[in-house]
Homo-oligomer: A and B are copies of this chain.
Amino acid sequence: MTAGTAFDFQQYVASRRAAVEERLAQYLFPDDQELLFQAMRYSALGGGKRLRALLCLSAAEAVGAFDCDPLQTALPCACAIEMVHAMSLIHDDLPCMDDDDYRRGRLTNHKVFGEATALLAGDALLVLSLETLARRSPDWIKPPLLLKVVAELAAVAGAKGLVGGQVDDLLATGAISQASPGPASSPAAASSCLLEKIHQAKTGALLRFSVWSGASLMGADDRILGLLTRFGEILGLAFQIADDMLDVTGDIKALGKTPGKDQAAGKLTWVSLYGMEKSKETLVKLENEGKSLLSKTGLAETSLSPLVCLLEYAIHRMN
Least CB distance, A96 to chain B, in whole angstroms: 4
- Name the contact of A179 in the complex, choosing from B38, B128, B175, B179 (C-beta under 8 A): B38
Overall SS of chain A's interface: helix
Q: Is the CB of B170 within 8 A of A116?
A: yes
User: Can you list, as one digit per residue, whether each of A143-168 has a CB less than 8 Å from chain B (1) or not (0)?
Assistant: 11011001100110111000110110
Q: Known A91-B123, A134-B150, A134-B151; judge A178-B35 contact (CB<8 A).
A: yes
Q: Is A37 an interface residue (CB 8 A)?
A: yes
CA of A117 to CA of B169 in the docked complex: distance in angstroms? 12
Range, interface on chain A = 35 or more
Q: Known A127-B158, A143-B144, A159-B128; judge A167-B134 contact (CB<8 A).
A: no
Copies in the complex: 2
Residues of B within 8 A of A117 (CB): 167, 170, 176
Residues of B within 8 A of A126 (CB): 123, 126-127
Q: Is the CB of B163 within 8 A of A36?
A: yes
- Name the contact of A154 in the complex, choosing from B114, B128, B143, B175 (C-beta under 8 A): B128
Q: Is A115 an interface residue (CB 8 A)?
A: yes
Supply 10 further A-B pairs (C-beta < 8 A) apart from A34-B178, A123-B126, A147-B147.
A29-B159, A33-B182, A40-B159, A96-B115, A116-B176, A117-B167, A120-B163, A120-B166, A131-B151, A131-B155
Residues of A within 8 A of B (CB): 29, 32-38, 40, 91, 94, 96-97, 114-117, 119-120, 122-124, 126-128, 130-131, 134-135, 142-144, 146-147, 150-151, 154-155, 157-159, 163-164, 166-167, 170-171, 175-176, 178-180, 182
Provide a sorted-by-A list of 21 A–B residue pairs whose CB atoms are within 8 angstroms: A29-B159, A35-B179, A36-B167, A91-B120, A97-B116, A116-B167, A116-B175, A120-B166, A123-B123, A123-B158, A124-B159, A124-B164, A126-B127, A127-B157, A128-B154, A128-B159, A130-B150, A130-B154, A131-B154, A142-B143, A146-B147
